[in-house]
Amino acid sequence: MNKFDRPGSFDPEALRKKISEIRARAPGEMPGETTTTDLNPLARQIAEQFSADTYSPAMIMGLMRLFEFSALFTIGYAINALYVQPGFEQLPLYLAILVGGSALAVAAMQIADTYQIPALRAWLRVMPRILASWAIAFGGIAIALFFLKSGHQYSRVWFGGWFIGGAIFLIAERAFIAYSIRHWARNGTMERRAVVVGGGQPAKDLIRTLEDQPDNDIRICGIFDDRDERRSPNVIAGYPKLGTVDELVEFARLARIDMLIISLPLTAEKRILQLLKKLWILPVDIRLAAHANNLRFRPRSYSHVGDVPMLDIFDKPIADWDSVAKRGFDIFFSLVALVLLWPIMLGAAIAVKATSPGPIIFKQKRHGFNNETIEVYKFRSMYTHMSDPTARNAVTKRDPRVTPVGRFIRKSSIDELPQIFNVLKGELSLVGPRPHAVLAQTQNRTYSDVVEGYFARHRVKPGVTGWAQINGWRGEIDNDDKIRLRTAFDLHYIENWSLLFDLKILFLTPFRLLNTENAY
């Protein structure tokens, strides 16, 4: 028996260190379940109900800040343009006040905690704080103008009109937002979808605690547990047990799940680690509920779901505003690439069509984000009657299936350029783990059979180029070590992602393509 499972032998410091090790553990050291399990009809039906995307609270609050800044600026600018009608030399002075005042107001409302979901719901209760923040912003502007001795340069009527107009807007806008949030909560547009892992009394207590919170934005989608009915009933706190943990992996891929909450005693370390070995490959937040334990870490060790303390084990990579930034990065640089590379793409298309019969574009089904199947575009490099859409047989050196033009465009990676359109469609990212064909294999074994935790590559969108590729791991995969090393580089990228990292990979890609040793 593990010492963490024996009553009376619990060591808080040892568990705290163990959780830190789990968080910091290199992904390649955390094996994952490689088999797939069919869902039972009930679980599949419920997964389909939660297949639509939702808006996370973090995104809603971020958009609120941006909207209120823009609206306050617009109100002030409109009054200024209609009443003051400043000349060209005065306009920069007014714009500075508009930008500074709007930003100061948003910052003051942020400090006053008026952008939290409970505050957005209860607009009447927080309205004094909102109006006080707006007044503080104007007070700050007035003090600055006083010390700069420049108040005489601005219209007092405009200044007062902006304050009154902004206050009226904030009252009306917050009332509308409160109504909208209640509506979004009812129809499921704005919620965090969670699955409880583990049943019995701990799961029941967790669900009851969450449901007792008036401003709860968590939607429990079901419960998964490997234990039988004697230890884990089929219905817990009104929610059905939908299957085992193996089935949960498939469920989370079909449904848009945001969070997995492990509801087990903190003393059951061995069982928790067994669960994490199966669940870490999913693109979700994984939390360990700590509400029912007498053990208490330092407050900063916890995050909270409402008032329920949680220990953060894994975070969803590239989430919320990071995903927005990465999408903007993809669109911008994809359009730049099309502008710069269209002559090469046109030349490749003509060469493919002129030298062998068949279509210009070859389409192949590959694994995308969260194991979804996507259709990736490439310039056709093989003879049509010898093509291999499944990629079961990897292309080898001097492969007779490859056309002379195909050999050149494969070595130079020109055949990959049509994937820019996959990026614009949102199926790929410019930078990420390369998408592999669904049935790709090495030595008659699929990649997922060779590499434990292989599917963790799919926690983010695959990319046209990636960290593995610029480090030399491109081309044929003819032995187990190549796919293991490629996967290790991909997981390193996921764990260390940033826009600067993406920019570095994108910049290095053309230079690393000069090494064509493994490309054929």
DSSP code of residue 39:
P
What is d(CA 330, CA 159) in angstroms, rounded to the nearest whole number? 42
Token pair, residue 465, equals 């180029």
What own/partner pairs with CB < 8 Å and gap ≥ 24 does 127-130 have? Answer: 127/171, 127/174, 130/170, 130/174
Q: Give me the domains of the chain, ranges plus CATH numbers.
A: 3-54+191-314 (3.40.50.20), 57-187 (no CATH), 321-512 (no CATH)
Tens digits of pLDDT across the chain (520 residues): 333 333 333 344 554 555 555 545 544 444 444 445 677 888 888 888 887 777 777 788 888 899 999 999 999 889 888 887 766 777 787 788 889 989 999 999 999 988 887 788 888 899 999 999 999 998 888 888 777 666 566 778 888 888 999 999 999 999 999 888 877 766 666 778 889 988 778 888 888 888 887 667 788 888 898 877 777 778 888 888 888 888 888 888 888 888 999 888 777 778 888 888 888 888 988 988 876 555 555 555 567 776 778 888 888 888 888 888 999 999 999 999 999 999 999 999 999 998 888 899 988 888 888 888 899 999 988 888 777 666 666 676 777 888 888 888 888 888 899 999 999 999 999 999 998 887 777 777 778 778 877 888 889 999 999 998 888 877 667 677 788 888 889 999 998 999 999 999 999 998 877 665 655 4
Q: Which residue, 390, 475, 381, 370, is CA-closest to 437?
A: 390
What is d(CA 196, CA 236) in angstroms, rounded to the nearest whole number? 10
What is d(CA 66, CA 58) in angstroms, rounded to the nearest whole number? 13
What own/partner pairs with CB < 8 Å and gap ≥ 24 does 381-386 have? Answer: 381/352, 381/405, 381/406, 381/407, 381/409, 381/410, 381/415, 382/406, 383/356, 383/358, 384/356, 384/357, 384/358, 384/359
Can you give 182-236 as a three-state secondary structure string? HHHHHHCCCCEEEEEECCHHHHHHHHHHHHCCCCCCEEEEEEECCCCCCCCCCEE
Residue 375 bridge partners (DSSP): 365
Calculate ∠ Cα 255-275-288, nearest 5°.
80
What is d(CA 181, CA 263) in angstroms, rounded to the nearest whole number? 29
DSSP for 417-440, written as a single string: TTHHHHHHHTS-EEESSPPPBTT-
CB-based contacts of 63: which residues, under 8 Å, 6+ apart?
A: none
Q: Is 412 exposed, middle or buried (0-12, 13-18, 19+ CB in 10 A)?
A: middle
Q: Residue 36's pLDDT is what?
A: 54
Q: Residue 27's pLDDT is what?
A: 45
Beta carbons of 239 and 259 less than 8 angstroms apart = no
CB-based contacts of 198: which residues, under 8 Å, 6+ apart?
A: 223, 225, 232, 262, 263, 264, 275
Q: Residue 306's pLDDT is what?
A: 67
The pTM for the full model equals 0.76
E-strand ranges in 57-214 read: 192-197
Q: Residue 4's pLDDT is what?
A: 32
Q: Residue 267's pLDDT is what?
A: 72
